[in-house]
Amino acid sequence: MSESFLRGRTALVTGSTSGIGLAIAKALAAAGARVAINGLGTPEQIASAVREVEAADAGTGPAHVRHFGADLRDPDAIAAMMRDLAAWSDGGVDVLVNNAGIQHAVPLHEMPVSRWNDILAINLSSAFHTMRAALPAMAARGYGRVVNIASVHGLVASKDKAPYAASKFGLVGLSKVAALEYAAQGNRESGGITVNCICPGWVETPLIEPQIQARMRGGSREDGVRALLAEKQPSLRMTLPEEIAALAVFLCRREAHNITGTALPVDGGWTAQ
């Protein structure tokens, strides 16, 4: 199959102005997709993300990359975004990647109610709203891919992460239900409809750099990484955002038509313990 196998398809990646989401958006563009990015940032940061996705585009050009600024805490804003996307893409998205996520790590009794509400809204409810809008059109075309970026914390728990774990466990469950409901749609030739979760452990992004620095204790950065990962991740190696993106793109291939309802850990053995 051509490496531009997504030419003619449209993808939406939420939380894609940086980190894992941006890496996925770039990889989908490289596979030929028209890409809608969504996420927060300054105008300069958003423009930079659009340029990066355009640069990765497999020859389809800048008109095939666009930023949608919906606040994912707001169901009405999500509905408006999905309507705009349907018009922009001439029918709706073929690939939906729900990547947006936030967390706040404190003990349960110290968790502000407002943070609980925001985490559940962005990490879980926004995926419900985008999937609810996107899946019927996918079924009508006989091809669709939903890739939800959950977390190792959708499979196992850690202290001080009650709303984050609740949202990610919920995202895994939501994905399994949707996978069952749409499993028989389409066929091998069309590609069918699949819904899967990717569950990363430690991923090397700027957000975790302070935790690495705190564990260096006069040693090298590699020492800091190994000390951080030794607490959970047996491989002692972090995953790169581009590696998560490569898995997301593989799940979009026609050959992956029978991979559905899964929660795929990319965690260096964390959940094998």
Asked if residue 200 lies in contact with residue 149, where contact means CB atoms within 8 angstroms, the answer is yes
State how far the alpha carbon of 230 is from the alpha carbons of 158, 201, 225, in Å. 15, 12, 8
143 flagged as catalytic: no
Structure tokens at 185: 């749609």
Q: What is the pLDDT of residues 235-271, one digit of tens each?
A: 999 999 999 999 999 999 999 999 999 999 999 999 9
| Residue 62 vs residue 11, higher pLDDT | 11
- What pLDDT is attached to residue 1? 43
Q: How far apart are CA 34 and CA 65, in angstroms?
A: 6
Q: What is the dihedral of CA 153, 159, 164, 169, to 10 degrees?
A: 40
Tally Cβ neighbours within 10 Å of residue 81. 23
| Residue 194 bridge partners (DSSP) | 145
Say what the pLDDT of residue 6 is.
Answer: 95
Which of the four pLDDT bands, split at 50, 70 and 90, describes residue 207? confident
Predicted pLDDT of residue 3: 80
Which domains are assigned to the chain? 10-201+240-264 (3.40.50.720), 205-238 (no CATH)
Catalytic residue from among 5, 68, 164, 169: 164
